[in-house]
């Protein structure tokens, strides 16, 4: 198992009756560049989405460095669900009997103009609470308890493998249809990628505690460095929406890198780039691998794929039909038939 | 000069507000508006709260008035002497902030997964429910009567020298300073959040929820925090509103129209812009409770007003003018009067230093 940065085991994704991925298995070694190719509609992006937790796979498992990106069920989760259930139970009980309880607790014992005796209030509350009939008291409280804790658990289990959890295990990605924060500046875009690594919270941001300033400064410097790495430093204060297509792709890569990923998934990074930009991109991807990042990419541009990939997997109709080094794939008749021959006739 | 104003319209506006009472001294009595400006400030706090939820985070909230109501009633119950608590203005204000945040959290927690229109409908419904609850829980809220009398704030007030005392209802200038000070603190707080990673996360969720989730942002938490922050500011404005009237008034003081008014403020000012909130509330509330009132007074003076002709009262023209202004606004300047700008602080750049990038 060691050495595999990303292991996909029998991943199947179905949307209703449509099977987007059928039992796809891949093993992607560490520090390598791995390409996933295939004709349009072959399920490449769906596979990426399943890997990054955008949609949960119908079947199959995804392991990053031997572990699933999924929050564990532990005592804290159960305790939180119980607490929420308890609160909603108490809430149900109080709101069903709000007026009676209020009157007995605060109105009856309170004599206008005199200090309030809290003990009397408490006695009043207990007395009134005891008189509440079962159907108005214990029953709604139990219903509240069940609804509260079940809702909490259901919501939690729905989000335990979400894409934020995957991102936090060190997996970053870009999108086929570039998804930048267009009204934010370049620096801010990169800073969002860095967000989950920041340690200061709401109160230190509000009160501007010293550690907040230190962290903010460091984050900003790091993001400017990343912008320089992708060659966009000079435009750092501009809105991301003002960038050209090729530059947007690069900014997306910089944003993904900001999370300091161990695995980087690039969805068609070369789409819409000119030959010059593509050779720059190839350099960029190689330098990423040399920094120790495992790069997985979806790409249609064969020169790029054949030029930099260590291994290639070919998908068709949602299934993997071949896998191997660029040479092996190039010589595999099924692949040529399915994709290469039809597309560019790579020799 | 123009550059300074452009770079920092928020500060400029607050400074102008600071200078206004002095300006008023040399103006004829007709132009004295400091007494009405406190309503502008109070609604600016409400709109500031809505701006956090709808402006920064992009969650359309049509029930922000509900949180204002919760703030007003919480403040009323905590301070009015017909209830046993009577904890005084400042502690009550603080507690109102917390209660507002909790109310925002309670509404947000079950609904935060809803998107766009669906969340708007839920918040709309919440606004109506809160009003109905306040009307019908008579044992607690006094129903349609509202809770009164509420004590005025104890603070450093002018009038016979600056002393620490309880404000009177007619103490216009002291109310002006008090609400302006609280508004300034709120503006500072919201600006600080906006320019930190908290605000960045809010805005990124508005811009592209899927992408920000893929960047490791816990979208649900981010949204909940925005909801709670916005609700807490709205509750604060409710408390100030009730305190300045010395009564919570009836529950319908916090109806759907108030929510829409707050929404109009941020649309007119520029969605997602703190400076826009200030200019928006000046334009909207200022028009409603200053311009119209002054015009009516003036018409009475020159004898143009008439009780028989409804068209002679400027107040009856209010919604027509509002409507036309909004249509013109959306047609010719949809981004608002002072749209948000991208800010950059190059002072922090020293990018050649090694070691920043892990």
What CATH number does the domain containing B98 carry?
Answer: 1.10.3470
Nearest-Cα distance to chain A for B83, in Å, is: 7
Residue A289 half-sphere exposure, CB side, CA atoms within 13 Å? 18
What's the alpha-carbon Rg for chain A, to the nearest Å?
A: 28
Rounded CA separation B89/B243 (Å)? 8
CATH entry 3.30.390.30 includes domain A179-260: no
- pTM for the model stands at 0.91
Give the closest of B83, B85, B217 to A164, CB-based: B217
CA nearest neighbour of A36 among A240, A202, A215, A267: A267
Give the closest of B192, B219, B343 to A208, CB-based: B192
Domain extent, residue B68, equals 2-350
Percent of chain B with pLDDT over 90: 49
CA nearest neighbour of A253 among A234, A216, A276, A280: A280
B355 touches chain A (CB under 8 A): no
Domain total in chain B = 1
B187 pLDDT higher than 90: yes
Assigned CATH topology for domain A1-65+262-275+293-347:
Rossmann fold (3.40.50)
Give the closest of A185, A205, A224 to B192, CB-based: A205
Local confidence band at B97 (pLDDT 50, 70, 90 cut-offs): very high
Local confidence band at B344 (pLDDT 50, 70, 90 cut-offs): low
For CATH 3.40.50.300, list the domain ranges present in chain A.
1-65+262-275+293-347, 179-260
Q: Do A221 and B210 touch (CB under 8 A)?
A: no
Q: What backbone phi and psi angles, to 5 degrees, belong to B86?
A: 45, 55
Q: Do A196 and B357 touch (CB under 8 A)?
A: no
Local confidence band at B351 (pLDDT 50, 70, 90 cut-offs): very low
Percent of chain A with pLDDT over 90: 59
Q: Do B216 and A116 touch (CB under 8 A)?
A: no
B113 touches chain A (CB under 8 A): yes
Spell out the residues 6+ positions from residue A16 whose beta carbon is closer than 8 angstroms to its own: none
Does some domain include residue B153? yes
Closest residue in chain A to residue B191, using alpha carbons only: A206
Q: Do A206 and B193 touch (CB under 8 A)?
A: yes
B348 touches chain A (CB under 8 A): yes
Nearest-Cα distance to chain A for B325, in Å, is: 27
Lowest model confidence (mean pLDDT) among B212-221, B228-237, B332-341, B345-354: B345-354
List the beta bridge partners of residue B164: B156
Rounded CA separation A24/A45 (Å)? 13
Nearest-Cα distance to chain A for B259, in Å, is: 25
Q: How much is the average pLDDT of B280-291?
A: 90
B305 pLDDT higher than 80: no
């Amino acid at each position: 198992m060691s050495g595999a940065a990303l292991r996909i085991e029998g991943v199947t994704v179905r949307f209703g009756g449509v099977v987007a991925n059928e039992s796809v298995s891949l093993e992607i070694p560490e520090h390598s560049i791995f390409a996933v190719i295939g004709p349009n509609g072959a399920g490449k992006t769906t596979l990426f989405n399943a890997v990054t937790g955008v949609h949960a796979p119908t079947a199959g498992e995804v392991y990053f460095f031997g572990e699933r990106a999924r929050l564990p069920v532990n005592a804290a989760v159960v305790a939180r669900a119980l607490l929420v259930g308890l609160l909603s139970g108490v809430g149900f009980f109080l709101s069903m009997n709000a007026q009676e309880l209020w009157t007995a607790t605060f109105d009856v014992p309170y004599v206008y103009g005199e200090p309030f005796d809290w003990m009397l209030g408490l006695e009043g509350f207990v007395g009134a609470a005891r008189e509440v009939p079962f159907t108005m008291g214990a029953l709604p409280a139990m219903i509240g308890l069940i609804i509260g804790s079940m809702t909490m658990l259901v919501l939690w289990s729905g989000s335990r493998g979400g894409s934020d959890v995957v991102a936090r295990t060190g997996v970053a990605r870009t999108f086929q249809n570039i998804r930048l924060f267009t009204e934010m500046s370049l620096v801010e875009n990169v800073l969002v990628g860095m967000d989950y690594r920041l340690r200061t919270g709401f109160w230190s941001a509000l009160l501007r505690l010293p550690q907040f300033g230190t962290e903010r400064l460091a984050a900003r410097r790091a993001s400017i460095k990343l912008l320089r790495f992708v060659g966009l430093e000079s435009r750092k204060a501009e809105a991301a929406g003002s960038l050209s297509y090729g530059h947007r792709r690069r900014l997306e890569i910089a944003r993904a890198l900001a999370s300091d990923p161990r695995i980087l998934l690039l969805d068609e990074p070369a789409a819409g780039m000119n030959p010059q930009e593509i050779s720059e991109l190839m350099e960029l991807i190689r330098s990423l691998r040399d920094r120790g990042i495992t790069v997985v990419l979806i790409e249609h541009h064969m020169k790029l794929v054949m030029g930099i990939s260590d291994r290639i997997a070919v998908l068709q109709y949602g299934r993997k039909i071949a896998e191997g080094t660029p040479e092996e794939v190039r010589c595999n008749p099924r692949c040529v038939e399915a994709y290469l021959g039809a597309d560019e006739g790579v020799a | 000069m123009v550059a300074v104003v452009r770079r920092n319209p928020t500060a400029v506006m607050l400074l102008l507000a600071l200078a206004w009472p002095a300006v008023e001294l040399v103006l004829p009595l007709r132009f004295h508006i400091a007494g009405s400006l406190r309503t502008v400030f109070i609604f600016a706090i409400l709109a500031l709260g809505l701006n956090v939820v709808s402006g920064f985070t992009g969650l359309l909230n049509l029930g922000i008035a509900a949180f204002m109501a919760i703030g007003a009633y919480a403040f009323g119950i905590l301070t009015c002497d017909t209830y046993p608590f009577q904890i005084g203005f400042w502690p009550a204000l603080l507690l109102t902030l917390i209660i507002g945040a909790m109310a925002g959290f309670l509404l947000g927690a079950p609904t935060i997964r809803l998107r766009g229109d669906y969340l708007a409908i839920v918040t709309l419904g919440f606004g109506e429910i809160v009003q109905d609850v306040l009307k019908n829980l008579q044992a607690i809220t006094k129903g349609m009567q509202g809770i009164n009398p509420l004590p005025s704030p104890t603070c450093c007030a002018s009038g016979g020298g600056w002393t620490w005392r309880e404000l009177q209802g007619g103490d216009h200038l002291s109310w002006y300073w008090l609400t302006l000070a609280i508004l300034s603190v709120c503006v500072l707080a919201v600006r600080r959040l906006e320019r930190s990673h908290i605000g960045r996360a809010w805005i990124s969720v508005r811009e592209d929820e899927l992408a920000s989730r893929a960047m490791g942002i816990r979208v649900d938490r981010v949204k909940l925090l925005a909801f709670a922050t916005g609700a807490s500011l709205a509750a604060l404005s409710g408390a100030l509103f009730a305190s300045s009237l010395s009564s919570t008034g009836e529950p319908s003081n916090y109806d759907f129209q108030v929510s829409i008014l707050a929404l109009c403020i941020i649309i007119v000012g520029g969605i997602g812009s703190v400076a826009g909130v200030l200019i928006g509330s000046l334009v909207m509330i200022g028009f409603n409770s200053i311009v119209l009132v002054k015009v009516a007074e003036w018409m009475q003076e020159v004898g143009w007003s008439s009780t028989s002709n409804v068209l002679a009262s400027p107040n009856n023209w209010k919604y027509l003018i509002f409507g036309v202004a909004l249509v013109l606004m959306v047609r010719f300047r949809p981004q608002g009067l002072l749209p948000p700008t991208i800010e950059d602080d190059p002072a922090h750049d020293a990018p050649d230093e090694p070691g920043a990038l892990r």
